[in-house]
Amino acid sequence: MKRREKTLFDEDFRLSELSNKGDYREKLDRVIDWEFFRGPVEKAMRKNLREDGKGCPPNDAVLMFKTLILRELYQLSDDRIIGLLNLSYNICHYVYLRQSLG
């Protein structure tokens, strides 16, 4: 069976292209121990939880912290960073769904 060429839709291809271009987020991951921030961020997040335990459970603390870092690096509002994260997820989901359907 002939192997198909890697395309834009292959995750490992996209990630290697980013790496080859010098993705600064990879550099951040190499020099920052994100888990170091988990405790303080979780503590801060607990302050905003409802006392009755109702409501949505909080997102992962490290994920939230990384999102805040990206928001500051790109000088985005809360609404804009959330919109961009949702947009990129929705586009990838749509493309993968369409690709799997044939």
Closest Cα to residue 34, out of 12, 59, 67, 11?
Answer: 67
Q: What does pTM read for this prediction?
A: 0.63
**Tens digit of pLDDT per residue, the chain (102 long)?**
555 565 655 667 766 776 777 777 778 888 999 999 999 999 988 887 777 777 777 788 998 898 888 899 889 999 998 888 888 877 776 766 555 555
How many CB atoms are closer than 10 A to CB 76? 15
Task: Give the domain ranges of the chain.
Answer: 22-101
